[in-house]
Amino acid sequence: MTYPPNGPDQQPSSGPFGASGGPGHHPQDPYQQQSPYPPGQYQQYPQGEYPQNQFPHSQYSQGQVPGQAGGIAPQGFPQTTCTWHADRPTAVGCSRCGRPACPECLTPASVGQHCRVCVAEARATGRVPMTVSGAPVGVPPLIASVLIGVNVLVYIVTAVNAGSFNEPQGGRIFFELAMIPGNVGAGNWWAVLTAGFLHFGLIHLVVNMMSLYFIGPTLEQVLGRVRFLVVYLLSLLGGSAAVMALGSASDFNAGASGAVFGILGALVVTFKRLRLNMTQLVSVVAVNLIITFTIPQISWQAHLGGLVVGAAVGAAMVYPRPAIRSKVQVATSVAVLVVLAAVIFFRAGSITPSPSCAYLEDGRQGAGVYCLSTD
């Protein structure tokens, strides 16, 4: 197939990509400086080296960025098949070279998404492609799996301590680590964090861990490991702060759902930033919110607090421009942490255990355990 020859004002090519980094390179054209496949001019390439269906960047409407399945397809972009999977139709492609590709073969980048070849070329030349959050492209997700493992391990420990695999909340360890606002006011400060790793039974654990398994790695690939962990932990604390501020002093709270809702919130913001189709994701959030507010014994405060904090921190991770991105991310994370700590501290200071309450020695549920009152 053919690619553009050098124009009259271009430097001659000394190789397949030209002497200056690409055929028809023009120093004043920012796209041609970064792309080895600029539009509008043609040059011969060996048969089979590149796919026959090429769609130069010029076919993309200005301001439109191809996304994953369901993403925005530029006007006039024809339906074709993935470069690496001939049996997969696609209407999206690499925002750098224009190769048509399926979502599996595209990696989120700071602008649009890059195909396998462009990612490999960037690595070979020492230029590490970055996502919209500043994380290196192509790093496999790890933190989501680690968090799942920690939650499962904590469940096993609490179940063994309680002597019941289906009711771990009956043990002393669970009671000490769970968040009861009145107990936080009495000095159990660690509970605002540790409660996010406890679960009331197997079903509670499985639902939260399956949710984290399906949505966690997607967000982690965009944010990177450290940023993903920051969003997760701040969302967890956001849920705890909401329980402290809006819940009763005797509420018995545990579970990772606040953090999971935070991941959902951050994912919604990330999808919007990448201009991906949000219909399915928004539907999932809406259904979960309906369940939260209609089924009894679900901590709507934790879910709502986690969702809001996750969306706010997620926006700070993916929206700032590269020049100030790191500063905004750090400043926002610290500011959110300070605000949450202040909410927890001042609310805890307003709660005191009732003098008539007597806590059981073994920490099990019973008379007096939840007998707390506010000033």
Residue whose pair of structure tokens reads 């159990």 in the numeric block: 188
The number of angstroms, rounded, from the C-alpha of 147 to the middle of its chain's C-alpha atoms is: 14
Please tell me whether the overall predicted TM-score, pTM, comes out greater than 0.85 for this model: no
User: Which of 128, 125, 127, 98 is closest to 114 using CA atoms?
Assistant: 98
- Dihedrals phi, psi of 373, to nearest 5 degrees: -140, 155
**Which residue type does 363 have?**
G
Instruction: Residue 88: count other Cβ atoms within 10 Å of its Cβ.
Output: 16
- pLDDT of the residue at 353: 55
Pick the residue with more confidence: 307 or 24? Answer: 307
Domain 143-349: homologous superfamily in CATH: Rhomboid-like (1.20.1540.10)
What angle do the packed helices 225-246 and 202-223 form, to 10 degrees? 130
The predicted model gives 319-348 an average pLDDT of 95
- Dihedrals phi, psi of 257, to nearest 5 degrees: -65, -30
Pick the residue with more confidence: 118 or 241? Answer: 241
What sign for the dihedral angle of Cα 280, 283, 288, 291? negative
Using alpha carbons only, how large is the chain's radius of gyration in Å?
26
CB burial of residue 138 (10 Å; 0-12, 13-18, 19+): middle
Q: With a cut of 70, say whether residue 82 has pLDDT above it.
A: yes
Q: Cα-Cα-Cα-Cα dihedral of 85, 271, 118, 143, to 10°? A: -90
3-class DSSP state of 108? strand
Give start-end residues of each CATH 1.20.1540.10 domain in the chain: 143-349
Supply 41's token pair. 């001019």
Q: With a cut of 80, say whether residue 157 has pLDDT above it.
A: yes
CB burial of residue 41 (10 Å; 0-12, 13-18, 19+): middle
The predicted model gives 362-368 an average pLDDT of 41
**Which residue type does 111 have?**
V
- pLDDT of the residue at 272: 94
Q: With a cut of 90, say whether residue 196 has pLDDT above it.
A: yes
Helical H segments across 274-324, by residue range: 279-294, 300-318
- pLDDT of the residue at 361: 42
What sign for the dihedral angle of Cα 196, 145, 166, 302? positive
Q: Are strands 107-108 and 113-114 parallel, antiparallel or unpaired?
A: antiparallel
What angle do the packed helices 257-273 and 279-294 form, to 10 degrees? 150
- How far apart (Å, rounded) are the C-alpha atoms in residues 364 and 370? 11
Supply 211's token pair. 């949710």
Please state, rounded to an integer, the average pLDDT across all residues of the chain.
78
Helical H segments across 298-373, by residue range: 300-318, 325-349
- pLDDT of the residue at 155: 97
- pLDDT of the residue at 5: 47
Give the C-alpha distances (Å, rounded to integers) separating 257 from 151, 211, 234, 285: 12, 9, 13, 12
- Asked which of 7-11, 102-106, 142-146, 347-351 is least confident by mean pLDDT, the reply is 7-11
Helices (H) and strands (E) in the chain — how many of each? Answer: 12, 6
- Asked which of 93-97, 155-159, 189-193, 194-198 is least confident by mean pLDDT, the reply is 93-97
Q: Which helix (H) or strand (E) holds 160?
A: helix 143-162
Supply 231's token pair. 């969003």
